[in-house]
Amino acid sequence: MRKSLLTLLAVFFITSIALVGCGGGNEEKADSANGEDGDNESVTWSANAIYPENNHTTEALIELSEKTEELTEGKLVIDVMPGGALGYEGPELLTAVSDNAIPVSDILSSGVAGDEPLFDIVTLPFLIQNFEEAKILNDIARPYFDEVTEEKWNQKILYVIPWPFAGFWTQDPVESIGDMEGLKMRTYDTNGAYVVEAGGGTPHPLPFSEVYSSLSTGIIDSVLTSSPTAVDASFWEVLDYYSPVNATMATSFVSVNLDEFNKLDEETQEALIQVGNEVEEKLWEDVPVLDEEQVAISNENGIETIEISDEFMQDLSDMTEDIRSKWLETAPEEAEEIINEFYEKVDR
C-alpha cells in the first residue's frame, strides 16, 4: 500500500511539471503574451508614399516617421515606402486605406474626389489667389474632411499639406487662351481637366509615374502641375516653357486606417497626432519658399518662365466661372458652407 501511495505521488509530481512546462500554470506569462504588458511592444506600419523620396510630400511623411519613432521611443515605427513602391498611387488610395490594404498613405486630396466629392473643393480653378487664402480654405474645410474620413472611410487624417500652385508646363509658350487650343495636357484631377477642356485642349489623366514617358513618346505635349513635379520629372529634358497661371492649388493628406490607430495606446495616439500637427504647420510655412526654389531649378536647367498678363488671368477666371458654379450645384451640402465662410473671410 505504501508503495502504491509513493507511485501515485510520483505521477502527480511529474504531471504538475508537464503542465507548467506547457504554460498551464504560468498565468503571469500568459497574461503578458495576451497583451497585458503588450503596450511595451513595437508596432510597425508600412506607409505608402506616391512620389519620390526627395519630393516634399514624401519628405513630410519621412519626418512624421522619424519624429514619431523618437517621441514614442520606438513603440510606433512607420516604414515609408516612396515612389509608389507598394503599388498604390491613384484614385484607389482612399479605399486602400479604408480596407487596410495599406495602413498609412499620403493621398492627393482631389485625386480621390471620385470617391469623396468634397475633396474637390481644394482645387476649384482660380478659387484661391495665394497661399494665405489656401491656408484659410484648408482651415475651414479641415473639420469637414476629418469627419467624412472617419465616419465614411474608416481612417484618420494626420495632416494636410499644400502643393505649390499648378501652372502650364509646355513645349511652346502659352500666353493666352488661344495658345491652349489643341494641347494634349496631363492633368491630375477633374477640375484640372475641366480647365484644359475649357481652353480647347485635351486632358490626359495620368499618374505621376507615367508623365515623363508619355511626354517622351508624344502621348502628351504638356502638363498641368506644380514646380516640385517638374523637378522630380526633369521636365527640362522634354519641355521648354512654364506659364505660372496658378490654376489650382492641390493639397495632400496623410491618413491612417482607423482600426490600426485605435489599437494604439492613448499615449502613442497623442504622440502621433502631435507630430502630425507639427509637420502640417511646418509645411504650410515651407511650401511657398519651396515653390520659388523649384522654379529656379527648372529655369537653371533651361525652362523659360512666361510672364503672365493680367488680361490672360482675367480671361482664365472668366472662362472657369461655370466650372466653379456647376460644381457647387452637385457638390455635398457642406461645400456651400465652406465656400460661403471662405468668401466672408477673404472679403469677396
Are the C-beta atoms of residues 269 and 123 closer than 8 Å to each other? no
Q: 10-residue block means of pLDDT along the chain (348 residues)?
A: 43 42 38 41 95 93 98 98 90 96 96 94 92 96 97 98 96 97 94 95 92 96 95 96 94 98 98 98 96 97 97 95 93 95 94
- What predicted TM-score, i.e. pTM, was given to this entire model? 0.80
Widest pairwise Cα distance in the chain: 114
Query: Would you give the DSSP letter of residue 37?
Result: T
Which amino acid is present at 210?
Answer: E
Q: At what angle do helices 310-319 and 321-330 cross, to 10 degrees?
A: 30
At 205, give phi and psi (nearest 5°): -75, 105
| Measured distance CA(279)–CA(187) in Å, rounded | 27
Q: Which domains does the chain have, with CATH numbers?
A: 43-164+249-299 (3.40.190.170), 167-247+300-319 (3.40.190.10)
Q: How far is CA 115 from CA 19, 97, 109, in A?
A: 55, 13, 11
What nine digits make up the cell of 301?
A: 536647367
Question: Looking up cell 504622440, which residue turns up?
Answer: 271
| DSSP H stretches of helix in 48-130 | 56-71, 93-98
Q: Are strands 251-257 and 104-108 parallel, antiparallel or unpaired?
A: antiparallel
Q: At what angle do helices 131-153 and 266-300 cross, to 10 degrees?
A: 140
Q: From 232, 244, 222, 216, select the one nearest 306 (Cα to Cα).
A: 244
What nine digits make up the cell of 150?
A: 472617419
Any residues with CB less than 8 A from the CB of 107 and at least 6 apart, and which? Answer: 50, 93, 94, 97, 252, 253, 254, 255
Q: Helix (H, G, I), strand (E, B), or coil: what is residue 256?
A: strand
Q: At what angle do helices 190-198 and 321-330 cross, to 10 degrees?
A: 140
Q: At what angle do helices 321-330 and 333-345 cross, to 10 degrees?
A: 130
Q: Helices (H), strands (E): how many in the chain? A: 13, 11
| Measured distance CA(30)–CA(46) in Å, rounded | 29
pLDDT value at position 6? 41
